[in-house]
Structure 1
Amino acid sequence: MPAWLPSIAYPPARDDGYWTPITSTLDWCEENYYATPYSAEIVNSLTNLLFIALAFRGLRNCYAHGHDRIFALTFVGYLVVGSGSFAFHSTLKYPMQLVDELSMIYTTCLMFWATFEHRRAAPVPLLLGVGTAALAVFITFYYHYLQDPSFHQNAYAILTAAVLLRSMYVMEVSIRPHYRKQHEAHVSKQESDGVSEREKQEEARKDKRDRDIVGKMWILVGTGLSVFLGGFVIWTLDNAYCSTLRKWRHEVGLPWGILLEGHGWWHLMTGVGAYFYIVWGIWLRHCLNGRQDEYELAWPSLLTSLPSVVKRKAAPPPPLPATTNGVNGHVKRMC
Structure 2
Amino acid sequence: MADGISSFWGPVTSTTECCEKNYAHSSYIAELFNTVSNIPTILLALIGLVNALRQRFEKRFSVLHISNMILAIGSMLYHSTLQHEQQQSDETPMIWEMLLYMYILYSPDWHYRTTMPTFLFLYGGVFAIFHSVLRFDIGFKVHYVILCLLCTPRLYKYYIYTNDTAAKRIAKLYVATLVLGTLCWLCDRFLCKEISRWSINPQGHALWHAFTGFNSYFVNTFLMFCRAQQRGWSPKVAHFMGVLPYVKIEKPKSQ
Determine if the TM-score, normalized by the shorter chain, exceeds 0.5: yes
Deviation (angstroms), 1:16? 3.3
Distance between the aligned counterparts of 2:232 and 2:109, measured in 1? 12
For the residues of structure 2 that align with 1:87 and 1:142, how far apart are their CA atoms? 21
More deviation, 35-44/144-153: 144-153
Aligned to 1:297: 237
**Counterpart in the other structure of 2:185:** 235
Unaligned segments of structure 1, at least 5 residues: 1-12, 177-210, 252-256, 314-335
Structure (1 or 2) with the larger CA radius of gyration = 1
8 Å CA contact 1:279–1:309 kept in 2: the answer is: yes
Residues 255-282 of structure 1: CA deviation (Å, up to 9, x unaligned) = xx35x11100000011111111111111
**Matched-pair contact (CA < 8 Å) for 1:14–1:34:** no
In 1: Cα distance, 2:17 partner to 2:212 partner: 19
Q: CA deviation at 1:148?
A: 2.9
Deviation at 1:152, TM superposition (A): 1.7
Secondary structure of 2:114 counterpart:
helix
Counterpart position of 1:67: 57
Mapping for residues 80-229 of structure 1, pairs under 5 Å: 80-118=70-108, 120-121=110-111, 124-172=112-160, 175=161, 211=163, 213=164, 215-229=165-179
Contact 1:14 1:33 in 2 (8 A): no
Give the drift of 1:241: 1.5
Matched, 1:29 2:19: yes
Question: Where does 1:240-259 land on structure 2 (aligned, <5 Å)?
Answer: 240-248=190-198, 251=199, 257=200
Shift of residue 236, structure 1, vs aligned partner: 0.6
Instruction: State the shift of 1:170 in Å.
Output: 4.2
RMSD over aligned CA atoms reads: 2.2
Amino acid at match of 2:13: T
The alpha-carbon deviation at position 119 of structure 1 amounts to: 5.1
Percentage identity across paired residues of the two chains: 23
Letter in 1 for 2:237: L
Runs (4+) off by over 6 Å: none
Unaligned runs of 5+ in 2: none
CA–CA separation in structure 2 for the residues paired with 1:96 and 1:309:
35
Shift of 1:75: 0.7
Aligned partners of 2:218, 2:250: CA distance in 1, in Å?
A: 20
State the one-letter code of the partner of 1:155: H
Query: What CA distance in whole angstroms lies between the structure 1 residues aligned with 2:237 and 2:151?
Result: 21
Give the C-alpha shift of residue 28 in structure 1.
1.2
The answer on 1:272 being equivalent to 2:197 is no
Q: Secondary structure at the match of 1:118?
A: helix
Would you say the 8 A contact 2:4–2:11 is kept in 1?
no
TM-score by length of 1: 0.69
Q: Is the 8 A contact 2:159 2:171 kept in 1?
A: no
Confirm or deny: 8 A CA contact 2:23 2:31 kept in the other structure.
yes
